[in-house]
Amino acid sequence: MAAYMEMTQGTPTSTRKFTYSGWIKLMSPNSSADEETIFSIGASGDSYYNGFRFKTTAKLHINFDSTGAGGGSTCELITTAVYKDPAAWYHIVLACDTTQVASGDRLRLYVNGEEVTAFDTEVQPALNHDLGFLVSGDKIVLGRQVSGSSQYFNGNMSHVQFVDGLQLGPTEFGLEDSATGIWKIKTGCYATPGTNGFCLKMEDRTNLDLDSSSNAHTFTTGGTATPTKDNPSNNYATMNSIQPAYKTITSTFACGNTKISGNNAAWQRTWSTMGITKGKWWHEVYIDTAGNSRMGWDSIDFINTGTDTSYYSGITIQPTGSIAGGISGTAAYSPNNVASSGTFVTGDYLGFGINMDDETFTMYKNGSAVSGLNPYDWSGISNNSCLIANGYFVGPTMNFESASGDGSICSFNFGNGVFGTTLLTGTTYTDSAGEGIFKYAPPTDYLAYCSNNLATYG
């Protein structure tokens, strides 16, 4: 979304040293005509650029100009690696110290705890160079260019820190989990952030730009910044924006890949970023615009290659006049449907529960169970073994039908606590493990699709 946060610098602790640390989750690889800015710094209205962003090639681009508008490039780094994973949080650390004797030590980049050393372009700052953007009165901006209305970052941010006066490594902000080897967040703020240092944890859903550092700087938020329970400590499922398209037609993704729009070009399908093989799981869907779409679960192991010759193992709820449940096998088998009472319309909230252990699923509409699907037992359906017995990973899905699916729009809540940009407030519910925020109470023992639950139950 077009949102940003900014603060005005005071007199810096140093004009030669700083460290940025932040966690981001991409909505999709940047394929737009514009670049997506994560962090920028400089004077308002400047035509030059200081900061870093994702290029249209999905590579990280760091560029700092010399003092004054239009000055020549002081340094520039463009990574060889590309960053495309919409399912995971990336931790990015950019650490600068122009007093370092070795050129390659002056500006250092780390992703998920590992130093990036392969660059398509590498121009390091000069020895003892004073960075012209570390100036009292200049802006520090997250999520957009300093100079204004372009290059917005399209994704999620969390735990962004800036340390003025020190070049720090990634272990000050993250650490490797001893059991899993996964790089994970340190939730505290760096103790000595320097004059312009800050720490935005973004954990207060009503005050996202709160500076939790000892400085307590005042930030201003522009645009619409939507809070989410999705964070580096507990990663929530979204829909997958980079799976191969069905019949080469892709859906339109928005709101951190939780709001999906179809079109009338052909069948198209989108899967969640998380799949399960056992246990009881729950998610909600808001119908922004009703159309002929199928929602439910499919095996994420059988993502289509764009042909008509492979179907998917799974279950679908198809609202074409009435709600029906079914399970499809491989290309040789047709779906088997069970008719149920009820329809859904724009403005309805649907709840979906799947029990992988008992091979049943349950559907709710606006908090009430749908007749005939509470629960529906699919264990005896022909060719069910392709879904369960082989241990395939199953996740929520949405399928738009050609022509009649024109205009279908749905917003998913996997416990993120928001439908599109609409924050769930008032009376809300968690799952049986105390995770997530839902509009309606999940059935007993049903769980949100998030990394905490997957680690314990999935």
Q: For the segment 169-186, what is each residue's pLDDT rounded down to a tens digit?
A: 999 999 998 877 889 999
Structure-block tokens of residue 373: 């699907």
Mean pLDDT of the chain: 82
- Residue with the larger pLDDT of the pair 147 and 209: 209
- 97 confidence band (pLDDT: 50, 70, 90): very high
> Residues 246-260: what's their mean pLDDT?
78
User: Would you say residue 332 has pLDDT above 50?
Assistant: no
- 306 confidence band (pLDDT: 50, 70, 90): very low
In terms of average pLDDT, the best of 68-82, 208-222, 324-338 is 208-222
- pLDDT at position 190 is 96
Structure-block tokens of residue 6: 């900014």
Contact 411, 288 (CB under 8 A): yes
CATH number of 3-223: 2.60.120.200
Of the listed ranges 14-23, 155-164, 294-303, 352-361, the least confidently predicted one is: 294-303
Per cent of the chain over pLDDT 90 is 47
> Residues 33-48: what's their mean pLDDT?
74
335: amino acid identity, one letter = P
Read off φ and ψ for residue 300, nearest 5 degrees: -80, 0
User: Would you say residue 46 has pLDDT above 90?
Assistant: no
- pLDDT at position 185 is 93
User: Would you say residue 24 has pLDDT above 90?
Assistant: yes
Rounded Cα gap, residues 289 and 260, in angstroms:
10
Per cent of the chain over pLDDT 70 is 77
Domain with CATH 2.60.120.920 in the chain: 252-457
- pLDDT at position 64 is 81
> Length of the chain in residues, anyone?
458
- 382 confidence band (pLDDT: 50, 70, 90): low
- pLDDT at position 432 is 94
Rounded Cα gap, residues 120 and 172, in angstroms:
28
Of the listed ranges 38-47, 179-188, 194-203, 418-427, the least confidently predicted one is: 38-47
- pLDDT at position 404 is 52
Structure-block tokens of residue 336: 């088997």
Rounded Cα gap, residues 180 and 197, in angstroms:
32
> Residues 161-171: what's their mean pLDDT?
97
> Residues 228-254: what's their mean pLDDT?
81
In terms of average pLDDT, the best of 157-171, 242-256, 314-328, 347-361 is 157-171
- 403 confidence band (pLDDT: 50, 70, 90): low
C-alpha triplet 91, 94, 23: angle, nearest 5°: 20
- Residue with the larger pLDDT of the pair 324 and 186: 186
Domain with CATH 2.60.120.200 in the chain: 3-223
> Residues 379-403: what's their mean pLDDT?
65
Give the contacts of 332 (CB within 8 A, at least 6 positions apart). none
**Which CATH superfamily, name and number, covers 252-457?**
SPRY domain (2.60.120.920)
SS (H, E, C) the chain: CCEEEEEECCCCCCCCEEEEEEEEEECCCCCCCCCEEEEEEECCCCCCCCEEEECCCCCEEEEEECCCCCCCEEEEEEECCCCCCCCCCEEEEEEEECCCCCHHHCEEEEECCEECCCEEEEECCCCCCCCCCCCCCCEEEECCCCCCCCCCCCEEEEEEEEEECCCCCHHHCEEECCCCCCEEECCCCCCCCCCCCEEECCCCCCCCCCECCCCCCCCEEEECCCCCCCECCECECCECCCCCCECCECCEEECCCCEEECCCCCCEEEEECCCECCCEEEEEEEEEECCCEEEEEEEHHHCCCCCCCCCCCEEEECCECECEEEEECCCCCCCEEEECCCCCCCCCEEEEEEECCCCEEEEEECCEECCCCCCEECCCCCCHHHCCCCCCCEEEEEEECCCCCCCCEEEEECCECEECCEECCCCCECCCCCCCEECCCCCCCCECCEHHHHHHHC
For residue 118, the number of C-alpha atoms closer than 13 Å in the C-beta half-sphere is: 5
Rounded Cα gap, residues 212 and 313, in angstroms:
47
